[in-house]
Structure 1
Amino acid sequence: MHADYIANPLYDNNPFIEALPPMLAGKDLIRALASIPPYNDNDRDRSAGERLQLLSSLYEYYQPLSMTIDLYCEVYTALQHCYGQYSVQREAAALQNDYALMRGSASAASIGGGNSFSVIGVSGLGKSTALQRVLSLFPQVIEHAKYHGQNFYCHQIPYLVVQTPHDASIKALILDIYLQIDGLLGTSYQRDALARRLSIDVLVSQLNLIVRSNHIGLLVIDELQNICYRNRETGTRFLNFLVQLINGTGVSVCMVGTPRVLQILQQEFRSARRTTGLVYDRLANDKEYSLLLHGLWHYQYTRYATDLTAEMQNWLYRKTQGIPDILVKLLYSAQKQAILDGRETLDYEIFESAFLKNLGMVSEYMSELSQAPLVKNAPTPAAEPPVTQRKTTAITGDDLRLLLKRAKRSGTSPVIAYTEYIKGEVTL
């Protein structure tokens, strides 16, 4: 899309930030993040084949949860943090240094300034889905032509999503980044790198230059737990590469993985120091889980509708242990089985049968989860204890600039101010 500049009083004359969509909050944000497929009670009168096809609506439904709101705040903050350090002079100096580094006539310079954070949660929680919903609110490519009447030809990639290679190969990750950029811009970075058989050192130096020249704001590294399936040295080398990338380009990095990756993140001080951890356990059986379940329960395609009782909600929670992916699959499987065998209604018997038939392989895992204590929004343990204990000051209000000033005076992270601003009208 072509850049549409909206003045931002917090960042004067910054075309990369002004080209981003304005920050949403409250009900506007919830509506933008939600995905509510159409539904009509008359659909239950359709043929069995048609109703089986309509069951896919369960997978299309998305109810924003508190984790989604947190992610939106972190992503927007990370983009502003990255682009807030951009200037014509700094960009020119960085590009010159990267080019000289590739030719071996300069030493690596630390640009820094990138904001990195991790999203850690159990499998099936919906981390990747939540990130997809959040990132869908931003254009992936922005074309700049004129800014304030002056020619300003360049393109901007607000975010890029790649997966951690199964063997934690740095070279494979870089080539995947090149492939993603090639798909967006029509360039040939990956083909040229393969043809020239560039070494890892040259690829890393070249990557710094490519990330800066294409103005990538946020790099999302999904499935980070793959670094744990090799030896510890491989995982450490992979994390060191990410630290070097942040230092060399100033790009913000979002690392997404399961709790398994915490053992490496916490052992590596440099990585932990650069990561504000969003650590999520499964959903508790509370208002948030009830909101999700009631939304999904609405999509009934059996011939006869079934009311959701408190007893049924508690039973479903015990079966799924608050994992959204398991809940959706159980509702889908139960309805499919009820339609196919002619029962055409949802009850405990059909749910139990569907669970054993389609989700039996995770029953042992669900049993283990039921015995484990529920830790909601657990923070990542600090890499280094603070010298002094600083009192936390509550940041409240609806004026973003005032909130940021209060946060600065009290020594509170600006992310808290952004979170309070965004959550304004939201009640989950």
Structure 2
Amino acid sequence: MADLSNIIHILPTMKSGADLFSALEVLPEYDEVIRETEVPVRLMALSDLYRIYVPSKMSLEIYSKMYLALLRSLQKKGTKLAVQQKNQNYKGMLQQEYSGIMGGSDSFTIIGASGIGKSSAISRAITLITENRVIEVENPYTKIIPCICVQCPFDSSVKGMLLEILRKVDEMIDSKYYENALRARTTTDMLIGNVSQVALNHIGLLVVDEIQNVCNSKNGKSLVGMLTQLINNSGISICMVGTPESAVFFEQAVQLARRSLGLRYDVMEYGTDFRNFCEIVFSYQYVKQKTEITDGIMEWLYEHTSGNVSVVVSLIHDAQEIAILSGKEVLNLEALNEAYQKRLSMLHGFIHMEQKKQTSKLKKKVSVTVTDVRTSAEEKHSGDFTIAGLVEDAKTENGDIVQLLKVYMPVVEVAV
């Protein structure tokens, strides 16, 4: 039994540096002998590629953010303020008038492109922080679930979200909150008070995944408003996880923006981390002929995945599957390209857009003097130019824009 007065010792010791990296890493067992086994055995073992987890800077930041958020949330439980909030929530359920005594700004977001490993990083962080156990507190006796993960409903239904939270709590501590709410046909207003009370008693950190669903729903702002009220009435920390489109939604108003400060990530850049990830995944080979990864293969993988780690894993997995089924039994560029063309055709448009975004360069602004236009322009601006920039320079120097344009492109003058 734990005591809330000594809350910092309830959670496992916070890790950092090399210890944290090692604890987060997941590398399934691999024996090269498997390359000589039968085809069905190798195809089944090939799915181990999806179990590989190589930590990155994102993983370390997410772990630290979630650990501290959970610690702040647990510190509020058992305090005098928490008892006052329980009484206030009970009155609120009767009178339908809620007021947040505990308050708090303990919400944050984790926003990043789809497939970069946000959910995997969160899952690994939760496993380390909570050790997959429910905390039993002696004084006063209660069971606390360190972290609960729910998914934002596709229609952003407030009632649906509240009921899902109760169902998850029942699943973890064998209670009957969800069943009682259904039997009583509780209204949404009463559910908010009920869930606030349950969260105050039993929940440390609430993770709401797929929060981008609020963007295209008429109930989006209502759902975020409900989460804000839940924070104020329970004092728990709430983590909202979504894709970049959700950031546009939260930036619409200050009351939304202040609730969404947090972490933001993009696909991996081509560098040491990406190369290390490719080397690890590529080493799990189940084809008969083993090959070593080269710089050319790593560059090809980056060009055809835009640095999205989930696409890299899928590409290497499918390339080996095709090589085994076709009898070629080798993981090389030919196999990778065949997998890219046959299995990832639906992603080609997204990958090309990412490539264009990463490789595009800003046009250089042209600055010229109009005196001796032809020689001066050729000497200073042999690279990119914009017509708008040339027009601006012509205005500044009182020059002839037609003469300036002739330096860069064919110009035909027509008498009117």
Alignment of 1:21-420 (within 5 A): 21-104=12-95, 107-137=98-128, 138-144=130-136, 146=138, 151-214=139-202, 216-231=203-218, 234-373=219-358
Write the letter of the residue equivalent to 1:331: I
Matches of 1:312 and 1:105 in 2, distance apart? 63
Matches of 2:140 and 2:276 in 1, distance apart? 47
Deviation at 1:301, TM superposition (A): 0.8
Matches of 1:374 and 1:164 in 2, distance apart? 34
Deviation at 1:245, TM superposition (A): 1.1
Q: Deviations over 1:282-302 (max 9, x none)?
A: 100111111111110110111
TM-score, length-scaled by structure 1? 0.80
Higher Cα Rg, which structure: 2
Q: Over aligned residues, Cα RMSD in angstroms?
A: 1.8
Q: Deviations over 1:324-367 (max 9, x none)?
A: 11110000000011111111111221111111111111111111
Matches of 2:142 and 2:315 in 1, distance apart? 48
Of all paired residues, the percent bearing the same amino acid is 33
Distance of aligned partners of 1:143 and 1:312 in 2 relative to their CA distance in 1, 3 Å threshold: closer
Aligned length: 359
* Other-structure match for 1:383: none
Matches of 1:88 and 1:254 in 2, distance apart? 23
- 3-state DSSP of counterpart to 1:220: strand
Deviation at 1:372, TM superposition (A): 1.0
Matches of 1:124 and 1:190 in 2, distance apart? 33
Write the letter of the residue equivalent to 2:145: I
TM-score, length-scaled by structure 2? 0.83
Write the letter of the residue equivalent to 1:326: V
- 3-state DSSP of counterpart to 1:278: strand
Matches of 2:101 and 2:177 in 1, distance apart? 24
Matches of 2:320 and 2:57 in 1, distance apart? 28
Deviation at 1:142, TM superposition (A): 3.0
Task: Point out the more displaced range, 117-126 or 16-25.
Answer: 16-25
Matches of 2:157 and 2:30 in 1, distance apart? 45
Matches of 1:144 and 1:183 in 2, distance apart? 16
Distance of aligned partners of 1:68 and 1:107 in 2 relative to their CA distance in 1, 3 Å threshold: closer
Structure 2 residues not aligned, in runs of 5+: 361-416
Q: Deviations over 1:153-207 (max 9, x none)?
A: 2111111000000100010000000110010111111111111111111111111
* Other-structure match for 1:385: none
* Other-structure match for 2:401: none
Distance of aligned partners of 1:374 and 1:168 in 2 relative to their CA distance in 1, 3 Å threshold: farther
Q: Deviations over 1:16-39 (max 9, x none)?
A: 332111101122211211111011
- 3-state DSSP of counterpart to 1:36: coil
Matches of 1:313 and 1:348 in 2, distance apart? 10
Matches of 1:196 and 1:290 in 2, distance apart? 56
More helix by share: 2
Matches of 1:223 and 1:346 in 2, distance apart? 35
Write the letter of the residue equivalent to 2:270: N
Structure 1 residues not aligned, in runs of 5+: 6-12, 376-428
Deviation at 1:279, TM superposition (A): 1.2
Deviation at 1:140, TM superposition (A): 4.6
Matches of 1:255 and 1:194 in 2, distance apart? 26
Higher relative contact order (CA 8 A, sep 6+): 1
Write the letter of the residue equivalent to 2:175: T
Deviation at 1:114, TM superposition (A): 4.6
Question: Are 1:16 and 2:7 counterparts?
Answer: yes
* Other-structure match for 2:394: none
- 3-state DSSP of counterpart to 2:28: coil
On the 8 A contact 2:149/2:209 being kept in 1, the answer is yes
Task: Point out the more displaced range, 222-231 or 294-303.
Answer: 222-231
Q: Deviations over 1:308-337 (max 9, x none)?
A: 111110001000111111110000000011
On the 8 A contact 1:284/1:374 being kept in 2, the answer is no
Matches of 1:268 and 1:177 in 2, distance apart? 27
Distance of aligned partners of 1:163 and 1:350 in 2 relative to their CA distance in 1, 3 Å threshold: same
Matches of 2:108 and 2:100 in 1, distance apart? 23
Runs (4 or more) in structure 1 with deviation over 6 Å come to none
Deviation at 1:141, TM superposition (A): 4.2
Q: Deviations over 1:182-239 (max 9, x none)?
A: 101111111111111111111111111111121x1110000011112223xx211111
Matches of 1:168 and 1:77 in 2, distance apart? 28
- 3-state DSSP of counterpart to 1:56: helix
- 3-state DSSP of counterpart to 2:204: strand
